Amino acid sequence: MAPKRRPPTADSFADGARPTNRRRRRWSKRSRRVVVATSVTLALTVGGGAWWAADRFLIPHVEISDVSAYEAEHSTVTATTEASSPATTVLTDTQYSAGSTTVTISTVTEGSGSDTVTYYVADVVLGDATDLRSAFANDQFGENIIETTSAIAEDNDAVFAINGDYYGFRSTGIEIRNGVIYRDEPARQGLAFYTDGHVEVYDETQTSAQALLDAGVWNTLSFGPAIVQDGQTVSGIEDVEIDTNVGNHSIQGDQPRTAVGVIDDNHLVFVVVDGRQSGYSEGVTLPELADIMISLGATTAYNLDGGGSSTMYFNGQVINSPSNGGERGTSDILYVAG
């Protein structure tokens, strides 16, 4: 009887032996199945990850499709208008005034060479606290809904605007805008603008949107951190993490920045620092931004979304130089209407 054939081993293949054609075909099919199964698994994994990323960061999720109508229906705050004769309006390249509300624009350049920093300042005095308003991209509320700052400003007849807190990048925070609650998911240090003209830094986790609204809050911002309190730079701000999601863990180093400062009731100062443009403006750290705000007279100052979002708009145009070479879309602005 002929001896039984043993299946070839790895060693026999290494020595030059080869499987029969039938076995080669069978193993080849099995190998193809393994390769195909692995490829499908990999595609599903990569595809699933890509879908998650697109859904999380790119695909718009509209919660309120007509913000203007929603605010008209739900706002419990009536914006004050000066009831006497129509205010005389003055508008130049650097100044706007209408009644008691004024906006004065200035440009500051410091340093030289690679250390040059350029920033734009808007000193804003409000005739009434409700003269500072908020607006959303496309007049919609939700995640990943974006327009440029200038487009949102133009849609709302703004004479002055800056980018806001980019609320649409995240699903957390307390968002009250123009006297209406849009989100109540406490998560971080916020900034609250009250109808009596004062502004406070507060801990979102210690209150609620309804409690703030009941106390007279007109607008909130949820980004941060606070960089100046009681006229002093807040310690540890360079180590703060605003979010714990992908790509936005830290805000350290020299960066383009946007911030709002409080000088007095109804007297605010907004600053946009350009950055990432050597020889023109390198950007600043958060402590350096705090120094700028203090030098402008702010006793409280709060950091807003920066980087490519940092934009200041005045009298129909963007007056700073956004770091992306052009405006980056954002979800919201603060503005004064013309």
The fraction of the chain above a pLDDT of 70, given in percent, is: 81
Q: Which residue has the higher pLDDT, 83 or 234?
A: 234
- 306 pLDDT band, cuts 50/70/90, is very high
Q: Mind listing the pLDDT tens digit for each residue in 94-125? A: 999 999 999 999 999 999 999 999 999 999 99
Q: Mind listing the pLDDT tens digit for each residue in 257-299? A: 999 999 999 999 999 999 999 999 999 999 999 999 999 999 9
Judge whether 204 and 190 are in contact, CB under 8 Å: yes
- 47 pLDDT band, cuts 50/70/90, is low
Residue 51 pLDDT more than 50?
yes
Q: Mind listing the pLDDT tens digit for each residue in 125-183? A: 999 999 999 999 999 999 999 999 999 999 999 999 999 999 999 999 999 999 999 99
pLDDT for 78? 74
pLDDT for 110? 98
- 332 pLDDT band, cuts 50/70/90, is very high
- 81 pLDDT band, cuts 50/70/90, is low
pLDDT for 294? 98
Q: Which residue has the higher pLDDT, 30 or 180?
A: 180
pLDDT for 255? 94
Please, what is the average pLDDT of the chain?
86
Cα–Cα distance for residue pair 240/253, rounded to 1 Å: 12
Residue 28 pLDDT more than 70?
no
Residue 35 pLDDT more than 80?
no
Residue 231 pLDDT more than 60?
yes
Read off the pTM.
0.84
Which of 163, 110, 93 lies closest to 280 in space, CA to CA? 110
- 85 pLDDT band, cuts 50/70/90, is low
Q: How far is CA 126 from the centre of its chain?
A: 24
pLDDT for 154? 98
pLDDT for 121? 99
Which of 125, 117, 121 lies closest to 106 in space, CA to CA? 121
Q: Of 29-33, 74-78, 109-113, 140-144, where does mean pLDDT reach its minimum?
A: 29-33
Cα–Cα distance for residue pair 316/325, rounded to 1 Å: 18
pLDDT for 77? 82
Q: Which helix (H) or strand (E) covers residue 173, if one does?
A: strand 173-177
Specify the 3-state DSSP secondary structure of 317: strand
Which of 141, 104, 162, 151 lies closest to 333 in space, CA to CA? 162
Q: For residue 177, what are the CA distances in angstroms to 78, 180, 218, 237?
A: 13, 5, 6, 26
Specify the 3-state DSSP secondary structure of 277: strand
Specify the 3-state DSSP secondary structure of 307: helix
Cα–Cα distance for residue pair 223/167, rounded to 1 Å: 8
- 83 pLDDT band, cuts 50/70/90, is very low
